[in-house]
Structure 1
Amino acid sequence: MTLKIGLVGARGHVGEALIRIIDAHPDLSLGFVSSRERVGKPLSDFFPGLKQDLVYSQVAFDEVGRQPVDVFVLALPNGMAADCVSSIERFHPDALVVDLSADYRFDSAWYYGLPELTRTHAAGARRISNPGCYASAMQLAIHPMRDALDGAVQCFGVSGYSGAGTTPSDKNDLRKLADNLMPYALVNHIHEREVARHCAPVEFIPHVAPHFRGITMTCNLHLSRGFEASEVRERFESAYANEPLIHLQSDPPWVSDIAGKHGVRIGGFTLDASGRRLVVVSVLDNLLKGAATQAMQNINIALGIDEFTGLELEKTA
C-alpha cells in the first residue's frame, strides 16, 4: 500500500529536494504540494521526468489538516508552522507530522529527529522536529567526544547560499557574495541554542559563501584530559560503525565532495601537543542530510519502513 505525503512549502530549495526524494520512493507518493507562488502549475514544469505529476495547489494553513494524506511535511520559514499543526490536530490528529523549521526543536512533546543520535527514542513518534542543517553538522562532529568536553565547543560554519532560502536577501545575493565570505548572527544563532539543548554547549560563528549548497563545519573541542589520536579515531569509529550515511576520513573533508549526496563526511581529527585540544571537520549538503534526507529518514522510521529506503547510499572505499 502506497502512503501519501502532503508537502507544505514546496517552492523552497528543501521542498524541491523532498519532491525528488519522495518521487523515487517505492512506498510513498505525493498527495499534494502547496505553494502560493506556483499554484496551478504542474510539477513537470519544474521537474522533468517525475514518475508522478501533480499540480501545485495553495492550501490555506487552517485547512491543511483536511487533506487526505498520511504524512504532512511542513517546509516553511521559522514561525509559520503553528497554524498548520493546529489544523492537523483538529482534523487529522493521527497523521504523522514532520516540521523542518525550528518551531518545535525546543518542545519536549516533539521527537527531535537526528536519527544517528536519537533514533532509539523514535518509537511511536507522530510529531517530529527535523534538526537544523548547521546543528546536524555540529552535533555529528561533537557527539563521540561529548562526555570528554571541557567547556563550550567553538564551531566555525560556512554554508552555501541555498541555506538562506529563496526570499531575496544579502545572504543569497550573488553580486554581494562574489569573492566574499559573509559573517552573520555572530552570537546566539538559533542553531547554537539548538545544539546546546540537544548535545553540548557551543559557540557558533556562521558564514555564507558564494557556492550554492553544502556546509563546512570546523569544530574546536577542548577536552577534559589528554587523548591519543588513535583513541579519538576509535571513538568516532565506534559511534558511527553501522551508520551508512556517515563516512570518516583522515584528511579534512571538502564540501565539494558531499554536494548533492545524502551523507556526512567527518575528518581532520587533529590534536595539539597536549592532546587536550581536538579539531574535527564535518561536511554535509544542507538541503539533503541537513534537511530533506533527514526528513525522509525520520518518515521511514516512523512508518516502519527501512530507514534508508528512497535514498541512494554513497559507496566509499
Structure 2
Amino acid sequence: MKLRIGLVGARGHTGRELLRLIAARDDLDLVFASSRELAGQPVCDMAPEIANGLLFESLSPGAVADRGADAVILALPNGAAGSFVAAIDAASPKTVIVDLSADYRFDDGWTYGLPEIYGRDALRSAKRIANPGCYATAGQLAIAPLRDRLAVDPHVFGVSGYSGAGTTPSRKNDLEALRDNLMPYALTGHLHEQEMSRQLGLDVRFTPHVAAFFRGIVATVHLSLLDPVTRDVLIALYETAYRDEPLVRVTGETPEIRDGAELPGAVIGGFGLSADGRHVVIVSTLDNLLKGAAVQALQNLCLALGLPE
C-alpha cells in the first residue's frame, strides 16, 4: 500500500526535485501539490514523472491539514511554515511533517534530520522533522568526525550555486550581477552558522558566497587539532565514520563543485594537513537541491514512515 504524501511549495527548485524523487518510489503516492503561482496547471507540465493527472492547487493551511495525508513536506521560504504546522497539529497530529525551512531547526520539539551524523533512531518515531540547511549539511559532514579533537573553532568557507537563492528575484540569483563574479554575503550570523554551532556543540564560523553556476556547494573547512595526526590516520577516521553511509563518499582527492552536482549524496576529501599535523583542511561538496534539500527530506520522511531510505 502506498503512503499518501502532500507537498506545499512545489514551484521552487527543491519542489521540482521532490516531485521527481517521490514519483520514482513505488511506496509513495503524491496526493496534492500546492503552489499559488501554478494553481490549476497539470503537475506533469513541470514534472513529467507525475503521471496521475494531478493538478497544482492553491491550498490554505486548513485545506492541507484536512487532506489527512500520511506526510506533508513543506518546501516554503523561511517564516512561512508556522500556519501550516499549526493547522496540521490541530486537525491531523499523526501526519508526519518534514519542514525544509529554518523555522524549526532551533526547536527542541522537532527532530533534526541529518542521519549520517545524528543517527536514525529518533527519526524512526518522529512526527515533526526539521530538514538541515544545505550549507549546514556540507559543513557538518566535514567537521563531525573531528569535533572531539578540535583546539579552536572551525571555519567554513562556502560557495553555492545561485539556485540556493530560490526563485524570487534578487542579486544572489541575478546572472548579470553574478557574471565574472563571486558574491560574499551574510558575513556574520548566517542561519547556517547558527545551525552548525547548535548541532555540533561548537562555535562554528561560516562565510557564504554565491557564484554564477546553477547548482552545487563546495565547503572548504579549516580545523585546528589538539594533537597532531598523519594524513593516513585522518583519512581512515573519515572512512570509518562514513563506511556504512552510501550517500557519503570519502576520497583522498580534492572534490570540486562538479563532483557533487547532480549527485544524491556528498563527497568529502582534500585532507590537506600542515607540516606539524595540527591544521587540517577538509573539502565537502554536494548538490544543494539534493543532499542539501530534497534527497535529505526523502531520507527523513522514509525513516519516519518506516520505509527504506
Same fold (TM over 0.5): yes
Partner residue, 1:198: 199
Output aligned runs, 1:1-317, within 5 Å.
1-118=1-118, 119-199=120-200, 200-307=202-309
Q: Secondary structure at the match of 1:159?
A: strand
- Deviations 1:23-80 (Å, cap 9, x if unpaired)? 1111001110000000000012222343333100000124321113110100000011
Separation (CA, whole Å) in 2 of partners of 1:189 and 1:28: 35
Separation (CA, whole Å) in 2 of partners of 1:302 and 1:49: 24
**Contact preservation (8 Å) 1:221, 1:279:** yes
Shift in alpha-carbon separation, 1:48–1:122, aligned structure 2, 3 A: closer
Separation (CA, whole Å) in 1 of partners of 2:48 and 2:128: 32
How many residues align? The count is 307
**Contact preservation (8 Å) 1:5, 1:71:** yes
User: Aligned AA for 2:184?
Assistant: P
RMSD: 1.0
Structure 1 alignment gaps of length 5 or more: 308-317
TM-score if structure 2 supplies the norm length? 0.97
Partner residue, 1:310: none
How many Å apart are 1:261 and its aligned residue?
1.5
Q: Secondary structure at the match of 1:269?
A: strand
**Contact preservation (8 Å) 1:31, 1:68:** no
Which one is further off, 184-193 or 43-52?
A: 43-52
How many Å apart are 1:259 and its aligned residue?
1.2
How many Å apart are 1:274 and its aligned residue?
1.0
Separation (CA, whole Å) in 1 of partners of 2:185 and 2:83: 29
Shift in alpha-carbon separation, 1:239–1:123, aligned structure 2, 3 A: same
Structure 2 alignment gaps of length 5 or more: none
**Contact preservation (8 Å) 1:161, 1:171:** yes
**Contact preservation (8 Å) 2:124, 2:306:** no
